[in-house]
Amino acid sequence: MDLAAWGLDQVNWKFFLGIFNIIIIDIILAGDNAVVIAMAVRSLPRRQRQWGIVLGAGAAVLLRVVLTFFVAKLLDIQFIKLAGGVLILWIAVKLFVEGAPEQVDKEAKTLLQAMWLIVVADITMSTDNVLAVAGASHGNLFLLLFGLALSIPLVVFTSNLLSLLMDRYPIIIYIGAAILGRVGAEMIFTDPWVVAWLAPPAWLKYTMEGVFAIGVIVAGKAWIWLTFRRARQAAALAAAEVTTLPTEEQ
């Protein structure tokens, strides 16, 4: 076994410091991904939630391994983070609408649908995680793979906990949607094209993150209200048609 190829030829204090840094990075950055997974699987039957969490997190982390080798260059391309931020905002609104306690006539989500949302959202949001782990590994292949592998159990555990808490405390759904709205805004206002065009100061970026966090919830509420209104109008129309049927027959 070639220890040098795996970065195990120099196991010193820098190596262990790298492990410590990667653990802290994974713990801090696993939160956003866990929120997406927990919200995505909440609409699944309880028996399928665990499979959705494990398979979704596993597939996302495998794709991260591929993404690791390209992410640094991708982030320099204009509109990549802008498009990713818009996509995250759409996913945030969709997951909020599906998980909101006041939502009626919820459609049953399949395991594949939940996994698709998890993978798309994770790949879109994981750029910071991948870059942070790659930076902390300093080119050490073992540390890089360790960081990516460690994120799986952390995300799975946190997602399980959040999905259970969402059933008991629906307010967490609002908090989760707001977090995703903030992430979407952060991606949009750090896109190279947006930075070159607006050169947004720090206060504007933070303000827009707050606006988007609230905006996701407002958009979700509006979506639910429109859906409820259309359902009520359709029910009223159907009732009116039923009422007029005997008169027409006479």
Return the pLDDT at 105.
Answer: 46
Amino acid code (one letter) for 205: K
φ, ψ dihedrals at 4, nearest 5° = -65, -40
Return the pLDDT at 208.
Answer: 94
Return the pLDDT at 104.
Answer: 46
Return the pLDDT at 42.
Answer: 78
The pLDDT tens digits along the chain (250 residues) read 555 545 555 666 677 777 777 777 676 666 777 888 888 887 787 778 888 888 877 777 777 777 766 665 665 677 877 887 888 888 888 888 877 665 544 444 677 888 887 777 777 776 666 666 666 666 677 777 777 777 777 777 888 888 778 878 888 888 888 888 888 898 889 888 998 898 889 899 999 999 999 999 999 999 888 888 888 888 888 777 777 655 554 4
The answer to whether 72 and 137 have CB atoms below 8 angstroms apart is no
d(CA 216, CA 182): 9
Return the pLDDT at 210.
Answer: 94
Return the pLDDT at 231.
Answer: 80
> Kindly report the CA angle at 37 between 34 and 39, in degrees rounded to 5?
105
Return the pLDDT at 103.
Answer: 53
Q: Token pair 């073992």 is at which residue?
A: 142
pTM of the model: 0.69
Return the pLDDT at 213.
Answer: 93
